[in-house]
Amino acid sequence: MTPAAPHRWRIEVVRDATPRRRALSLAAVMLLALALCGLLLRAAGADPGTALAALVRGAFGSLNAATETLVRATPLIFTGLAAATAFRARVWNIGAEGQVFAGAICAYGLSHGLAGLSPLVQLPVVLAGAMIGGAAWAGLAGLLKTACRVDEVISTVMLNYIIVYVLSMLLLKGPWSEAGGFFEQTAKVDPGSVLPVILPGTRLHLGFALALLAALAMQVLLARTPLGYEIRGAGSNLRALSVQGASAARILILVMILSGLLAGLAGATEVYGVHGRLKAGAITGFGYAGIVVAILGGLRPWGVVGAAIFFGALVNGGTYMQIKTGVPSALIYAFEAIILLACLAGWAAAGLRIRKVADAV
Amino acid sequence: MLSDLLQMSVLASILAATLRIATPVLLAALGELVAERSGVYNMGVEGTMLMGAFTAYLAADGTGSLTLGLIAAMLTGALMSLLFAILVVTLGIEQIVTGLAINLLGSGLSVFWLRAAFASDAKSPTIALFEPLDIPGLAGLPFVGPVLFQQKLVTYLALLAVPAVWFFLYRTRQGLELRCCGENPKALDVKGLSVAARRYGAVVFGGAMAGAGGAFLTLATSARFVPEITAGRGWLAIVIVIAGMWRPGPVLLATLAFSFLDALQLQMQGIGIRVPYQILLAMPYAVAILALALRRRQSGAPEQLGIPYIRG
Amino acid sequence: MTAAPPRLEVRGLTKRFGALAANDGVSFDVAAGELHCLLGENGAGKSTLSACLFGLLAPDAGEIRLDGQPLNAATPAQAIAAGIGMVHQHFVLVPAFTVLENIVVGTGRGWRADLAGGRRRIADICGRYGLALDPDRRVADLSVGEKQWVEVVKALYLGARLLILDEPTAVLTPEESDRLFAIIRRLTGEGIAVLLISHKMREVLQSDRVTVLRRGRVVATVVTADASGDDLSRLMIGRAVAPASAAAPAAAGGEVLRLDRLVPDRAGRAGAPISLTLHAGEILGIAGVAGNGQDELLETLAGLRPPLAGTMHLMGLQATGLGAHALAERGVGYVPSDRFRDGLVPDFTIAENLLLGRQWQAAARRGPFLGAAQMRARARAAIADFAIAGGGPDTRSGRLSGGNAQKLILAREFAKARHLLLCNQPTRGVDIGATEFIHRELLRKRAEGCAIILASEELDDLLALSDRIAVMSGGSILGTFPKAGADLSAIGRLMAGQGGRAA
């Protein structure tokens, strides 16, 4: 065997990768991700084909399944928009998880005294409460950053842990716990505060329409308003913006508030649209999943909607898959992470080229 | 009740618990310290610890050997952070987002695997725990003995790792080069040395340490794996590196401070002080925010922390 | 000349970036003990050439020989091993490390950091070439000149036989630059070959030979003693240098700016108090080596850092401590020195960048929305007026070249500067064509009655444009010269921070 000519691999940055290159690279990495997911399915003792078929049927197999997918997608649209808005400005709000809790808590706190009043009174209070709660919890992290230089990644994560205990205090033998109940949850909320179903015969509720409306609003805000202009500018070169007189602190706080109020709405749709009572299990996990949705959606509002429906389908189909094949539905969360990693790698790889260069003697 | 707390034996048990609680966080924090000194901000500590805790449990349960469990955890941690390093060092992807993805992976994969391996969380078997290792001659000392010298082997190793990491960073050629990567990687690159290789090394070391920290939770504390068993300890390790100004000694002090708080909290619950337990549990996170808010200035951070190195 | 091969021999070196040949068949050689200068404008291919020599770029064709041996350095490590040392244009130092650590890091074998051995070798090198360096000082505490010595010692420590200096004097005072040349001469005396990359005639003329590059090709290699500065300039630019566009002195208008003992904030420390007045239709040039307080002064005037003391009046009105936004509203434009860091948002289109700073103004909006059509129309006008090449209103500004990016910033800031325009290093790193364009535009703006403060390291800029020249060093204005009486040597002395107060 002759030894190969000495060479080394060098990775070079490609400026302005073409859209085709991006798409190809993304497709390649996604295929790899799917193959990995297939391996996981096999490891769990299932036939990937059967399991995948069950997953698709569970997600879209009937009108009921499809609307259920949209129901699952609804909170993810909100948290995805929350993460996308913050990330567009390069503000690392990892706290959508906690802001969903804060939104739900505030909505319940403001509205549960209004039982019996007209939905026209209760619904606006629920939605406003959710926005206020989420915005306040996120704004706190913003203030910590601008006033005390606490990195927002750390503060939002810490606040995520803290609010879980706040809710637990309110619910476990606390002021809001269900009378005579064993579980950490409130009693059923007043029917007048429940988000109405918009497609009779299904569980698809007003929250989904609101989520689409929020996506539209964010699209217009980002593309056409001065605030959106500043958010996009901050993500690209915040310094140039402040040299021209914009206040970096003001942008940060506004972004956190906007992001928080979107996340807070997810709390309201789950409590008042799906579960009908406030409990931790009803609102856990959407914040972190929203980050995946935002990245997969390319940080664009309509991309977020698409990605959220995709993940809604995964979660919805995953449950069906567990029933049909015995594969734990927790697999979906591993899927999410793998797809996020693949997505990140795909984008980055499009901007790189690996070249063989001759090695010197 | 305060007098109860002040009794010597109670104090000794609080301090002994402090060291036990400190062990996993200290291991992870030292690993993160080395990674950050090389310029890489690994926010995936939480997920890496979680996978370490799970694989340690799985391996110990399968082989009956705690040592193999620990090794499995360190390998898993190294593997997770190798993946992280490929993404952030070679591909130059945003470190914060990639770290989160690693956390989600650890969280999802460990729960899925647990449920795939055992029919349900409750049916997972318990394993034997690491036994305390008395240091001959010292373990019998009053007060100091139970606090310092009746700990588990991993705790001793974690404490010894503090001077070891210090020596590596400040007294070895590789340590100097590693710090250079964090301060100004170009200074190394123009001398023809690979920044990427050193960052890979630092990140993988950090992952192995986080894996070991996770292993301590299942092999020395809990005897079985519970989803989200790390409960934010990985994040705490990141906070501790900042609070410890990126230096091994202060990192140890910060770890002990947080752990003391936690040990005190456990003791207070134990003797039934009437404070809602949720407040006690939330305290470390609130203190972490306070610690960061009240520190004087961003001091000691490597100049190029979190910035991918691209030549040119 | 002996029969020994030259220290460095370059034959037919070619490096292409896409369709552009940055180096096209470049050939020249450097003898041992020679100070050889590589002269060329920005963009002539000097940096590409040095990157190829140092293994940072792989040439597409051609040959490089070192002492007769073919050199095919694919990495800096191989170039260093072969005996090439490089002092980069921007310092590559670790501020938090000591001098010793900076030099020793990345060298040596074994697991120990051999600081004691390094200390001895550094003392040797410093002794031999007459350098004074304290190995235990932190690099962050060194002066710019001292940092340059550290860079040189770093290269020698690695055993360089050929030392490449990439524009080493860009940040040095004339005095420090003289010291550097004294050291270079001791190096060449010891047989080390030095390749100096520069476009400053004063330095070039001290070399033994000059190779002139233009658009990636070697125009000529000449013995320096046989050529004049004018000859070399002509070779470099390809035509005679246009005489400085002597501007007719403008009739001084009313007072635009008055500073009374204004103290800029220099990284938490107080700078020297600065007092001056500026009239409409006047250009005040600020001469000085970068980092002597020009950035702080201009940023204070632009409202980016509040002054620590003193007052500022704009058009007769109190303007002390106003923010960037308020000052812009009062007619102040600001062209920052680092245009990509401070001046542009790379992901914004040209049209969006032109709006920067005005995004909340009612005039820029239609209801709650930004007026898109109006933005585009404005962009089309700016592209035409300022000859911005390389894109239309919807082109991302991150894709623009340095010169066009600067024109885009000028277009925006000229529109804002109704009364006062602050320009920091407006021609840094742009080609001759763009420089001439910028000069013309500045004079046009002056003719419109705008007062201009122009800080530049290029004395040529200042002499061509200014009505008065103030010299800054160490944060204070050491003297102000009327253009007529400008004495280059006096200005040079003041830039070095010495000499008495001028008229």
User: Percentage of residues in chain C with pLDDT exceeding 90?
Assistant: 38
Taking contacts as CB-CB distances below 8 angstroms, the residues of chain A near C341 are: 237, 239-240
Taking an 8 Å cut-off on Cβ atoms, the answer to whether A348 and B292 are in contact is: no
Taking an 8 Å cut-off on Cβ atoms, the answer to whether C345 and A246 are in contact is: no
Say what the pTM is: 0.88
Q: Which residues are within 8 A (CB) of C32 and not within 5 positions of it... i.e. 6 or more apart? A: C4, C6, C7, C161, C191, C192, C193
- Among C80, C81, C82, C121, smallest CA distance to C99 is for C121
pLDDT digits (tens, 9 = 90+) for A284-342: 999 999 998 998 888 999 999 999 999 999 999 988 988 888 888 888 888 888 988 88
pLDDT digits (tens, 9 = 90+) for A98-111: 999 999 999 999 99
Per-residue pLDDT of chain A (361 residues; tens, 9 = 90+): 334 444 556 666 665 567 777 778 778 888 888 888 888 888 888 888 888 899 899 999 999 999 999 999 999 999 999 999 999 999 999 999 999 999 999 999 999 989 889 999 999 999 999 999 999 999 999 999 999 989 899 999 999 999 999 999 999 878 888 887 778 899 899 999 999 999 998 999 999 999 999 999 999 999 999 999 999 999 999 999 999 888 999 999 999 999 999 999 999 999 999 999 999 989 999 999 999 899 888 899 999 999 999 999 999 998 898 888 888 888 888 888 898 888 888 877 776 666 555 443 3
Q: List the subunits that have 3+ CB pairs under 8 angstroms with C.
A: A, B
**How big is the A-C interface in CB pairs under 8 Å?**
82
- Among C46, C432, C408, smallest CA distance to C216 is for C46
Taking an 8 Å cut-off on Cβ atoms, the answer to whether C368 and A225 are in contact is: yes
Place of tokens 């030979």: C209
Q: Is A190:C316 a contact under the CB 8 Å cutoff?
A: no
Taking an 8 Å cut-off on Cβ atoms, the answer to whether A332 and B312 are in contact is: no
Intra-chain end-to-end CA distance of chain A, in Å: 20
Which of B45, B102, B109, B238 is best to mutate for the A interface (most A CBs within 10 A)? B109
Taking an 8 Å cut-off on Cβ atoms, the answer to whether A345 and B93 are in contact is: yes
Distance from CA of A221 to the nearest CA of C (A): 8
Taking an 8 Å cut-off on Cβ atoms, the answer to whether A341 and B87 are in contact is: yes
Q: Which residues are within 8 A (CB) of A124 and not within 5 positions of it... i.e. 6 or more apart? A: none
- Give the separation between CA C197 and CA C46, rounded to whole angstroms: 7
pLDDT digits (tens, 9 = 90+) for B126-181: 888 888 888 888 878 887 778 788 888 899 999 999 999 999 999 999 999 999 99
Show which residues on chain C lie within 8 Å of chain B, measured between beta carbons.
55-56, 75-81, 86, 88, 92-97, 101-102, 104-114, 158
Taking an 8 Å cut-off on Cβ atoms, the answer to whether A229 and C352 are in contact is: yes
Q: For chain C, say whether B177 makes contact (Cβ under 8 Å).
A: yes
Residue A13, strand partner residues: A352
Question: Could you tell me the two tokens for B265?
Answer: 């909290």
Q: Is C422:C451 a contact under the CB 8 Å cutoff?
A: no
Phi, psi of B247 (to 5 degrees): -125, 140
Which of C80, C98, C104, C105 is best to mutate for the B interface (most B CBs within 10 A)? C105
Its ipTM equals 0.87
Q: Judged by CB atoms within 8 Å, which residues 307-366 of C form the interface with A?
A: 323-326, 328, 334, 336, 341-348, 352, 355-357, 359-360, 364-365
Which own/partner pairs from A170-175 qualify as long-range (CB within 8 Å, at least 24 positions apart)?
A170/A105, A171/A278, A171/A279, A171/A280, A172/B278
Dihedral sign computed on CA atoms, order C349, C350, C354, C357: positive
Residue type, B29: A
Taking contacts as CB-CB distances below 8 angstroms, the residues of chain C near B187 are: 92-94, 102, 105-106
Q: Flag whether pLDDT at C126 surpasses 80.
A: yes
- Domains (range + CATH), chain B: 2-120+154-294 (1.10.3470)
pLDDT digits (tens, 9 = 90+) for C59-114: 888 889 999 888 877 788 888 988 999 988 788 999 999 999 999 998 888 888 88
Neighbours of C326 (CB within 10 A): 13
